[in-house]
Each structure stands twice: as C-alpha cells, then as structure tokens.
Amino acid sequence: MSYPRRISTMAAALLAAFVTVMTLTSGAAQAQTLEYVALGDSYASGVGTRDYLDDSDCRRSDAAYPSLLAEAIGADLTFAACSGAKTGDVLAGQLGGLSSSTDLVTITIGGNDTGWAGVVQQCAYPYPWTCTREIDAAEAFVRDVLPGRLHEVYDAIEAAAPNADVIVVGYPLLFNGEQCNAITRISPAEQAALNDATDLLGDVIGTAARAHGFQYADVRAAFDGHAVCDDAEWINGLSYPIRESYHPNKAGQTGYFDVVDDYV
C-alpha cells in the first residue's frame, strides 16, 4: 500500500500552495501605496521656492516638503495646502481628500491667523514707525484665540481620517539679528521680538498637537544658522515678487523635509 507516501505528497503540495498564497498576499500588502494628504498654508504649499506646479493662487510646488516626502516614501499625494490659508480655510476647503483609508496627514497652519505677514510688514517700515503694538497683539492672539482654532482643525482631521498618522509641522525663526537688506528696516531688537513671537507660536502649536496625540515636527533647531542674512539662507529676505519674501526657499523646504521625514 502507498497511502503514507501519497498523503505525504499531498501535504507537501498543500504546504507549498499555502506558502505561495501567503507570499503573494504579503507582496500585495507591501505594494499598497500609502495615501498621504498635505494640508496647510504657504509654508506647506511651497511659496518661496519660485517653482510652482500650476498657475493657481495656492502656489503648490514640487520642491515643497509634501512633494519631497511623497516621492521619498512612494505615497499617493493629495496636495491640498494653499498659500494664504488660515485655520478656517482648512476646515472649509482642504479636508475633502481625507478618509478612513488615509495613512498620513501633514499640516502647517496658524501663522496666517495671527496676521503675521502684516506684522513683519509693519516692522519693515522706516523710522519712526515701530511694530511693538502689532507684535504684542499677535502674541495675545496666539495665547488666547489660536489654541481653540487649532483644536477645531485637529478635531476635524481626527474625525475625517481616523486611521491616519498626523504630523503637525511648525515654523522656523526668520531672523538672526543682522540687517543685511538695505531697503528694509527691521532692527535687531524687532527681529528678536519677532523671533520670540514665533517661539510662542511654535510652543502653542506643539502643545495643541500633542493634546490630540499628533506628532509635532519642530523645525526651529534645523533652521538655526539658516535664517535671513545667514551665509546659507534657507529663508528668503525681502524678495520680488513680494510674496516670496520671508518664506523657505528650496534649500529650506529640503530642510523641512529632513525634519518631517524623521517622523514618518
């Protein structure tokens, strides 16, 4: 009788088939593309790089950190970040790409809510204009109003993309205390005050992010030595067109990418 040999042969065939199925299944899972949604304002869209994907006012760039990150991790990117966006704009127009299948979300938001561009502009006016009042008002807003707006945005992200890893990305300090641009007047004292306001903004954003269990990618240390007037500027000074001013250039967006990539 040859039953044992036949049974052994059948068992071996079944085992081989099982291994094949498991290998194919594992390969399919590994090949699944990550779904990545990038939200936020001009620091996320790529303003400052002077290289944009289309003619829209959002000024999204393939040199921006979301584009660089998507390429590095092989993700399918929904690029919703838009120049000028505030927290309310994220809620009203940027969440459509989120779903239960979203794997990764990044967001840089909050700076425009404070009226930051106007504050810097006021600081750049010549003497006798000053910007102390504007900086104080921005800091009060950051302390008293912005946390509630951030929580509203983060709540909405959690609800729309419950399975996603969320990385909240901060802002760099813009100034190093030097005055290297002859046509702007931002004194060393004003630069220090602006940096202090940015530190406050970063701390508030980080606290709100961590309260939701999100990761906070703080870029301030990475930009140390790369501010406006540094030898290796990662941030544009006063530029033409004016919208390019005080935003990360291509090197700065690469610096952003290096920080965010460590959290993925």
In a 3-state reduction of DSSP, which class is residue 106? Answer: strand
User: Rounded to 5 degrees, what angle do the CA atoms 113, 232, 185 make?
Assistant: 55
Q: How many residues does the chain have?
A: 264
**Do residues 171 and 202 make contact, with C-beta atoms less than 8 angstroms apart?**
yes
What is the identity of the amino acid at 74?
G
**Do residues 113 and 141 make contact, with C-beta atoms less than 8 angstroms apart?**
yes
Is 247 an annotated catalytic residue?
A: yes
Residue of 45, 61, 226, 247 with catalytic role: 247
Angle between helices 132-144 and 188-211 (to 10 degrees): 10
**Do residues 255 and 222 make contact, with C-beta atoms less than 8 angstroms apart?**
yes
Residue of 8, 42, 56, 101 with catalytic role: 42
CA–CA dist 108, 218 (Å, integer): 11
Of residues 114, 211, 223, the one with CA closest to residue 173: 223
Residues identified as active-site: 42, 247
